[in-house]
């Protein structure tokens, strides 16, 4: 049973972390649009909503425990509090409903609530370079009692100061390379009780290739219009708890960008042996709405403009 609870706790934390550390606002700096990514956050803050974000995670068998799977149905709402030029400050609220089947026990219930405060404070438009800083608070023991009793979600809260960065390559001299962009995220989660829930470093990055950028700012291509809305990318996300093995995932995928919404899908592949012991290759899909474009005069505008 201890092996099961350890595995359940890890899988629950991993599922909770994906949407929780990835407040999913789209970001614009110069000609570059950094899309909402699925296993990490982007460097912007805006008025948007993800509903739903669905992640499926296989759980491999181990001695004494059969294989199983876990599915989470996530939501997120990003709300801008104030806007002052390039500076955007806001809050994000997110959580998800978890269903686990097999792997020793069937579980259902809401995950803990996570709140993020985020300040988009820098944008160099000619170089498409953007930075933000934030604080992520995971409120332990706010989820369902069934998941808490099984050890699938943490009882202890933590707080993670986090730095976000994005760089588009639109300033390169070679045309096709200008459609590339990279983003990164680095945070340190400080536990309310390190003995019960260790502190950890969380770090992630993405490499993106934007067809909308290529066709709008480099050259138009004689291809069907559908392909002009696609962004291909690979995300890398890792967690390194104190005195515990580092785990992580590699997530290749593709997004479709419309004027007021986005659909994205990625495979979620274990990045090392420690992760493969806890999960197999799964997937994540998301429907994301840009409220600032869809409802610019109501839910999509900052509470205060300066």
Q: Which residues contact 133 (CB under 8 A, 6 or more apart)?
A: 118, 119, 121, 161, 162, 163, 164
Output the pLDDT for position 26.
Answer: 67
pLDDT digits (tens, 9 = 90+) for 254-294: 999 999 999 999 999 999 999 999 999 999 999 999 999 99
Q: Which pTM value belongs to this model?
A: 0.89
pLDDT digits (tens, 9 = 90+) for 98-134: 999 988 889 999 999 999 999 999 999 999 999 999 9
* For residues 145-174, average pLDDT: 96
Listing DSSP states for 138-168 in one string gives EETT-S-HHHHHHTSS-SS-EEEEEEEEEEE
| Cross-strand partners of 67 | none
Burial 9-25 (b: 16+ CB within 10 A, else e): bbbbbbbbbbbbbbbbb
* For residues 174-201, average pLDDT: 97
Output the pLDDT for position 45.
Answer: 94
- Domain 2-301 sits in CATH 3.50.50.60: no
Q: Nearest to residue 85, comparing CAs of 59, 120, 60, 117?
A: 120
pLDDT digits (tens, 9 = 90+) for 1-38: 333 334 444 344 333 333 333 333 468 999 999 999 99
Q: Are residues 291 and 300 in contact, defined by beta-carbon separation less than 8 angstroms?
A: yes
Question: What is the average pLDDT value for the chain, to the nearest integer?
Answer: 91
Domain boundaries, the chain: 2-301
Q: Nearest to residue 71, comparing CAs of 42, 106, 118, 47?
A: 106
């Amino acid at each position: 049973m201890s092996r099961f609870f350890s595995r359940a706790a890890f899988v629950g934390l991993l599922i909770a972390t994906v949407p929780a550390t990835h407040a999913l606002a789209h970001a614009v700096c110069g000609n570059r649009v950094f899309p909402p990514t699925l296993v990490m956050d982007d460097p912007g803050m805006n008025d948007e909503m993800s509903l739903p974000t669905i992640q499926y995670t296989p759980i491999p068998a181990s001695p004494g425990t059969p294989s199983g799977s876990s599915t989470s149905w996530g939501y997120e709402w990003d709300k801008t509090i104030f806007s002052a030029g390039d500076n955007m400050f806001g809050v994000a609220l997110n959580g998800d409903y978890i269903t686990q089947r097999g792997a020793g026990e069937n579980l259902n219930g809401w995950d803990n609530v996570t709140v993020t405060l985020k300040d988009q404070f820098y944008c160099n438009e000619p170089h498409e370079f953007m930075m933000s800083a934030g604080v992520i608070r995971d409120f332990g023991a706010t989820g369902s009692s069934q998941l808490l009793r099984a050890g699938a979600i943490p009882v202890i809260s933590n707080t993670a100061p986090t730095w976000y960065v994005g760089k588009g390559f639109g300033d390169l001299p070679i045309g096709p390379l200008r459609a590339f962009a990279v983003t990164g995220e680095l945070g340190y989660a400080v536990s309310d009780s390190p003995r019960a829930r260790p502190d950890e470093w969380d770090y992630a990055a993405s490499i993106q290739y934007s067809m909308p950028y290529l066709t709008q700012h480099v050259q138009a291509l004689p291809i069907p219009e559908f392909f002009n809305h696609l962004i291909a990318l690979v995300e890398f996300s890792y967690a390194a708890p104190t005195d515990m093995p580092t785990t992580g995932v590699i997530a290749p995928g593709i997004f479709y960008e419309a004027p007021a919404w986005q659909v994205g899908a990625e495979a979620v592949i274990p990045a090392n042996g420690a992760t493969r012991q806890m999960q197999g290759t799964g997937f994540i899909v998301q429907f994301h709405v840009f409220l600032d474009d869809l409802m610019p005069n109501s839910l999509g505008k900052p509470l205060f403009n300066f």
